[in-house]
Amino acid sequence: MPPVIREARPGDIPQLNAIYGHYVETCTCTWEESDKELFSRETLARRGPRHPLLVVEDNGRLLAWGSLSPYNTRSGWRHVAEDSIFLHPDARGKGLGKLLLGELVARARAIGFRKLLARISGDQPASLGLHRALGFSEAGRLRGAGEKQGKRLDAVYLELDLEPPQP
């Protein structure tokens, strides 16, 4: 049976945090340096239908998670969402990122977002390539904006228009 994409549940919290925590400790794909506990019952409860948190599950094991989050809390930004995707280290290179990002894009369209943004560390070619493969294009780059593991890092902003341009 193939992996299933579903909404995250409170029982997933330990596995969600384990996946995220791996990247906090080992990688520049998140610029968080110490807090490995991104999720709690409260953070899941606050998400709401406009900002889903999805998981890819295979036989009770979480292989990946992805989410839509507000890009900015000011009301004028309500039609823009930001995506996040993190895969279990053993699940990389199996097409799950593309599957999950495709689902997030479809949900963002169905919800009525006009634009989807991704903010990716410039030294993450796999994440940049995944987004470009699904139609995202670079909208900007903040050179040397971040730092982790003793490296200065670029923040690359990618965008995907979810509705046709207005005449």
State the distance between the two ends of the chain, measured CA to CA, in whole angstroms.
46
* Rounded Cα gap, residues 147 and 155, in angstroms: 10
Q: Where are the domains of the chain?
A: 4-161
Phi, psi of 129 (to 5 degrees): -65, -40
pLDDT score at 37: 82
* Rounded Cα gap, residues 22 and 105, in angstroms: 25
* Rounded Cα gap, residues 87 and 96, in angstroms: 8
User: What is the identity of the amino acid at 143?
Assistant: R
Give me the CATH code for the 4-161 domain, please.
Answer: 3.40.630.30
User: Taking the model in full, what pTM does it have?
Assistant: 0.93
> If you search the block for the tokens 């593991």, which residue do you land on?
149
Whether 123 and 151 have beta carbons less than 8 Å apart is answered as: yes
- Exposure pattern of 85-112 as b/e (b: 16+ CB <10 Å)? bbbbeebeeeebbebbbeebbebbeeee
Per-residue pLDDT of the chain (167 residues; tens, 9 = 90+): 789 999 999 999 999 999 999 999 999 999 999 888 889 999 999 998 999 999 999 998 999 999 999 999 999 999 999 999 999 999 998 999 999 999 999 999 999 999 999 999 999 999 999 999 999 999 999 999 999 999 999 999 999 999 866 66
Q: What is the CA radius of gyration of the chain?
A: 16
pLDDT score at 105: 97
Q: Which two tokens stand for residue 117?
A: 């943004």
